[in-house]
Every structure is written in C-alpha cells, then in structure tokens.
Chains A and B, each alone.
Chain A
C-alpha cells in the first residue's frame, strides 16, 4: 500500500512546527479551549499497533505520562486487544494498520508498534512515511536491512523515535558510562553478555498439524510479511518468537536489554566479524535434528567490533539458552554474576564491571571497589528511570524532532539491533546445509560452520560467505514492502 505524506497542515505538522518554535512552548488546552476543539500541543495522539501483551503495557505507560491520549488501537487479534480496548474505550479499533493510517492519519501524532518482530518494520515505516513519531518494541526489526532502513527513515522524515528497550533510560547504564568515562576499568577489550532465554522450547520441528483459525484472528494480516503458512496451534500469542519466519529467538527477546549497556557505554557501531556455534539437537543416535525454521536451543555468538578512536578492538560474547560465561575471578563464591540468569560483564585493562538485565545493579569488581570509588554524577538521569522511557518519548514527540534527547532513538537502536541480528545471521548461516557431493542422500555439508563471517557494515554485506547475505534482508510475501 502506498502512503504519501499528507500535504495539508495536519495536527502533526503543527505539532512539529510548534516544537521547533520553542519560544512559546506548549499552549495548554484550556487556553485555546472551546467545545469540539482539540488542543494540538498539549496532547500526543497515539495509535497503538499491536495492543496486547507488551503493546498493552506500552500503551498504558504512554497514557500514564498524562500527556498522551490513546486515540486508536489496532490489532489483528481481538482477543489480544481486549484489555486495551477496555482501558481506552474511546479509542477507535482497527484490524488493519494500513486502513487505520489511511483513514485516521490526520488524527494521529505518533504510533506505537508492538507486533511480532516480522511486522515491526513495515508498520513503523508506514507511520514514519506519514511523519508520525514512532515507538517500536525491541528488537527494532526482524532483519538487519530493515533496521538500517528505519534508522535512515527516522532522519529523513524527522520523526522522534524510540525503541522499547526501556532499560536504556535506567540509571544503571548511566552509572556504568560514568565509571567507564572516568577510566576506572581502562580500555575494554572483552564483553560477556548472557541470558537464560529462550525459556520456551526451541530447536524443535514446526508443528505441521493444521488448526482452525480462531474467529477473532485475521491470520492473513497476522502473517503480514511472512511467507504463507497454515495456521497452527499456539503460535499466537507468544510462540512466534522462536520461529525465524516471525521471531528473532533469544537474541531478539533479550539482547536489546543486555547488549545495550556495553553498546552504549563503549560507543559500539557495526561489528566487523561474527562467529557462532549452537547447541545441537539430536533426534536419534547419530541423527541430527534439522529444524531450520526454529531458533536454536542455545547459542554462543562472538562479535568483533573494530578499534574506535584509540580504543581496542572488542570481542563481545553472547550466550543464551542456559549456557553462561565463566565466573569472573573477582566475584566472591556467593556473589551473583549479573542478575544470575542474565547479565553483562566488561573486561578492561584496569578493571572489570558488570550489570544485570537493563543495566540494573551496576557494579565494579571486586564489589568492594564500589565503596572505594566515588565518581561524581555527570550524566543526566531520565526522570523515572526505565519507567520514564515512555514519558520521555511522549515529551520528545511533543517537543518535536531534534529538540529533546531520548534514550533509544533509532540512530542508536538501529545499529544496536543490527548487531543483535548479526548473531541471528550467524546462527542461520550455521544451519545452512547442502547435499554432500558424492555423499549419501542423508549426508550434508554445512559450509557456514566453523568459519568466521566478515561483515562490511556500511555495505551490509558478509564478504567471505555469500550465502549468509540472504539473512540480511528477507523477501516479503507479495503485497508487502518496507
């Protein structure tokens, strides 16, 4: 569907212009007042695409800011939308976001996207092309290419963007940044990140049994960009995240929360290389399960980030599915590494530091060092910390593009998401197979294994194993484009 930018002076453009002309700032509604008149500048009119689950809580958080009105709700599954529909009885409900944006664009300032990963990009892009500010759940996108496109679009359309990794507004990452900036751990060369996700089965066969499509669900719309498949039980509302056609696995679920602190603190950009291995699945003696649709049960990813302005090359390890990096020697036997199940550790030439998910519980190591150093606060905290992530975006939208700093704008969230998706690219390359030349029918070679993939970030290209490039950008089902 082709969306063109509206030529009329919509509320949105008014809002943006108001933001630019900051001198008179926000005109409160009661000043302009009057029956039927909608104050443009003190309320952000938000449309929520994907209104259940995380979408539901995102929307509730925007509303809580006191400056946002949830005006429209959109979900392909009425069951999922039920709570939000009840919470916001005046919000008009749509099933198809394209229809909603078409019909209501003049009444929408900003859009929140909290759908399954495979539809993030098209929805966010459609909103941005209309000049709408966007808040997009993590991971920003399903593919690397999409992340790049959204990052560029945010700049092009001058919209306020925020990815839904709320921990990036927390105090923890700012504390880590201050320690790092103060040189407390020297030059960082190694980072370990890990999560207990997936906490659901992965590395499993696609449930081939066709099921009846629930009447509340528009299956075709839910599929969106994904290749057509028959509906199967339990794929919605949650299980999609373990299947490559829709989700992004453990990395997609947690890496935006866990890799964000090192990414931000160390100022990382595109990685230059990635290697991976995954926990194998055997279905019988010597018979390896081959379930390329399914994300793996566990993975070990190692990304290399190049030297940056006199700072060392960084090796960033990611482990998921239960496997964890070695405990640091500086930790006491009864001290948790990270938050136990998840965390990140920074290994520098002069010291080490760690944190849990969302940058929570930042700590120098050994932990006794926390009491010995006192670094003055130099980075402004976000009011409300991680909880303030939502209101921060609402306020920034009201202020207009470029006027107010947000914690996870797409120019940071895009490269962060790309790095995370590099892990998935490596995993999917690892799973590529071809019949062994001259071998038996059940013998395969896995050319993407046991090698290191080299990444040309600016060109978005794996330079030493071309087959991997199919995972940079997938083909959408016909009728859909970003």
Chain B
C-alpha cells in the first residue's frame, strides 16, 4: 500500500493544543477557563476539554477510553480501529466521536482537533501509532507493554522528552496504593538491602508453544487486514490471531511477559534502584511434536519460561538477581511463608529478598512482610508517598489532568521515562526466549541451539555483546511502508 503523506507534525498556528500547553505553563494563576465563560455558538473552548483520539478501541482500549471519560474534562473525540467489530461498543459509548480505520488518516485529517491519543492496539503497532502521535505533539497513553521491541521503547522514551508530551503507560496499578506502601516499607529499611527478587505470573492462560496457524480464510468484511498487520510481516489472514490470541505470537505479541510483567515488575522497578539489566538468561518448557522430536514453533511464544536478569543497583550496593517465571511455574516458596499460606495471588506476585527480611506482594494486593507474623511485630511506617486519587482507577484521570497542565507539570505514575526502561527489561526476557528458540541446522542435519546461554547486555548501545544473533530481537524490520 502507498505510504500516506503526513502533514508536518508541528503546526505553526496557535492550535488548541499549543494553547492548552501555553495556558498550562504560563497562566497557571487563573488555571482553567470554563467553557461557559468563553461560550458562544460554534466556539470550541480550548482549555476545559481534552480531546482524545483512541487508536484501538476494543477490549482494553474500550475500558481505557471509559476510564478517561470519567474525568469530566476528557472528551473522546475520535475513535480508530481496523476492525469494526472491535469498535462497536466504543462507538456506542461515544456516538459523537468520528470513526476512522487508519490512524494515519485520522491524525492527518484531525490533527488540530486532537490533544491526546490513547493507543491500545496489538503490541506490534504501539510504537508506530504512539510515535505518530508524539511527533504531532499529542500527549499519549499507551497500553502495556509500551512497545513490542526494546528499540521502540527506547525511541518512545526519547521522543516523549524531545516533543515534551505527557505520557503514561497503561499499567494502571502503577497508581495503586499497594506499591507505594511497599516502597515505604522498603525505604524504611524493614527488609534491609534487596539482593534478590522473584516474580511470576499464571499467564499465558491461552495456548502458547504451538504450531503456526495454517489454512486460508476470507477476511471478515469488518476487518482491514492490511492495516491490522501494519508493521508486521505480510501474511494471510487467519482467525487464530484475532481479537486476542495475537499476543501469543511473536510477530504481533509479547507473550506472558508482555501481558503481565509490566504489572508485576512495576513494584520492583518503582521501589528498587534499578533500570537496565546487564545480563539475561532463560529456559522454557520444550514443545515436542513427537517422540524425541523437539518442535520448532519459533513463531509462538513458549508455553512457560524462566528468565533470570541481573541488575546492578544504582546505589552501588551490588547486584540484584531478578527472576521471572510464567506459564504455571512458580519460584521457591519463601522460608517465612507457612505451608498453607498462599504465595502471591491468582495473577502471580513478587517476592523481595533483603539482607534483613522478605516482602511479598502483587500489584492488586497489599504487601506483606514474611513471616506474616512480623507484620504485628514491627512498626510500619506511616504513609509518606502521596497516593494517587482514585488509586489504580485514577491512573486514567490523572493522565487527563496532567495533559491539561502540560509537560513537566505533574508527576504521573508511568511516564515513558519510567515505563520505557520497565518495558525494555520485560522485553529483555523475550529477547532471551527468542535467542533460546534459535535453531541451527548443521550440514549433517544435526540441530543445535546456540542461543541457549547467558546473554550480556550493553544497555547504552542496546546490544547483546556475546551473541550477535540475539540483536535481531532488539529491533525488528517493519513491513514497508511502515517506519518508526
């Protein structure tokens, strides 16, 4: 398909958007001018409404939009989805919102009427959609994981700074009270210096480690398959991928890590002095297509995996050994957990092992010190970190408020400067898995797996230094004409 000509991202006219920012930066004293003051027929009040365009408006996109709309200042002005079926509910919810199929067309045509963009597409389209919005200086809210590739996460984080837009990743529990409570306890020294973190999830709760779907199918009339594919490689439509299962296929999704790690690894990232890992290794449950015949389902994310990451503590107090397990696998139960006590919750959990104690929790449950009897023995610090109004539900409305105030004016829970490194760490797990899946067939037919080793990461240069093939997974090639 031909590349769509896009307008220059920065408008020179005094758009509503730039007015909005200027108002926020300059005239903070009188704050928001309510619509009725400026009023008048046909006049669109610039400062009392955040005009939001939603890209990907079904599923999580649907609930994100209703989350924003709870803030009376937000107006869902445009909807965009490549699949009319997915868009149906949101279109019903926001009948005044003009509907597009192609976000490029929408941004081109409606750029001036959009203040902020919400991206909730399959993972492989996050970066392309978010970057297009950021380059037009739209504030963005992007579902987790921020991106499909490490490189994309780095680019978005840099772009957010460059274009000075307000950003938030959709890991809403980053706004929850629980993680703030846990941080207060760790900061108070209740578990000493953390040296090890175990995390896990029950995901995937859909089939992974399976053969690539085959067969020929008619594309449903409601779906623009070419737009859905977007940056992904050309392939025939297959119903196996839509609307949900794309997440178990590398071409589109990011597996169990992509689904849950941004939630579960949020706490360690928010609490501990870590950003980029230096090492990663993994192993996965092997898929067997027959007796003694290992399957090579390289398109599929694995049924379960174990990832080990090493993070140097930024305070110089050594390294943190970080483990992730998914697909049903669980880390060892902590010594302090009694035989009948539940470890984490249904979705998984995190355990911090410190020099002076152990802390367990998950994003949607309060943290506990282990053994749990310790909760009665220690004096827990009183809350010192400001809570987000509405906690996890406030994640959406806070972003709306921050967009009004303008870049740099209001601290959000998951701006890209935070969400970018979290996502990169999550995707390091996937890089390790995909390296692990790499098969080499020798001339004599012998199969080897050269990527089944520890990988060393040069985060600054975004490069695996001891196994070059792994670098193919830092940044994928987009299908023409797509670019970041």
Contacts and interface: CB of A to CB of B under 8 A. Distances in A.
Interface of A: 196, 198-202, 238-239, 273, 275, 277-286, 288, 297-298, 300, 302, 315, 317, 319, 321-324, 326-327, 333-334, 340, 450-454, 464
Nearest to B467: A333
Contacts, number: 118
A315 B332 CA distance: 10
Contacts of A453: 339
B329 A285 contact: no
A200 B288 contact: yes
B332 A322 contact: no
B332 A302 contact: yes
Contact of A279 (B244, B328, B339, B466): B328
B298 interface: no
Given A275-B333, A279-B304, A323 B343 contact: no
Interface of B: 202, 204-208, 244-245, 281, 283-292, 294, 303-306, 308, 321, 323, 325, 327-330, 332-333, 337, 339-343, 452-454, 456, 466
A239 B333 CA distance: 33
Contact of B333 (A202, A282, A302, A324): A302
A327 B330 CA distance: 18
B339 to A, nearest CB: 4
Nearest to B455: A333
A49 to B, nearest CB: 25
A298 B304 contact: yes
B286 A285 contact: no
Given A286-B206, A322-B284, A326-B321, 18 more contacts: A202-B288, A273-B339, A277-B325, A279-B303, A279-B304, A282-B206, A282-B303, A298-B285, A300-B330, A302-B332, A317-B332, A319-B283, A321-B285, A322-B285, A322-B286, A323-B284, A451-B340, A451-B342
B333 A452 contact: yes
Given A199-B294, A279-B304, A285 B454 contact: no
A276 to B, nearest CB: 8
Given A298-B329, A315-B332, A238 B339 contact: no
Contacts of A297: 285-287, 303-304
- Per CB-CB distance, the 5 closest pairs between chain A and chain B, nearest first, are A280-B328, A322-B286, A277-B330, A298-B285, A279-B304
A-side interface mostly: loop
B333 A280 contact: no
Contact of A201 (B288, B305, B327): B288
Nearest to A238: B291
7 contacts: A200-B291, A279-B329, A298-B285, A298-B303, A315-B332, A321-B286, A451-B341
A266 B343 CA distance: 30
A285 B304 contact: no
Given A200-B291, A273-B339, A333 B466 contact: yes
A280 B288 contact: no
A283 B343 CA distance: 26
B286 A196 contact: yes
B205 A288 contact: yes
B286 A326 contact: no
Contact of B291 (A239, A288, A322): A239
A450 B290 CA distance: 31
A340 B283 CA distance: 12
Contacts of B244: 285
A285 B206 contact: yes
Nearest to A332: B454
Contact of B205 (A198, A238, A273, A282): A282
A368 to B, nearest CB: 18
A450 B206 contact: no
A298 B286 contact: yes
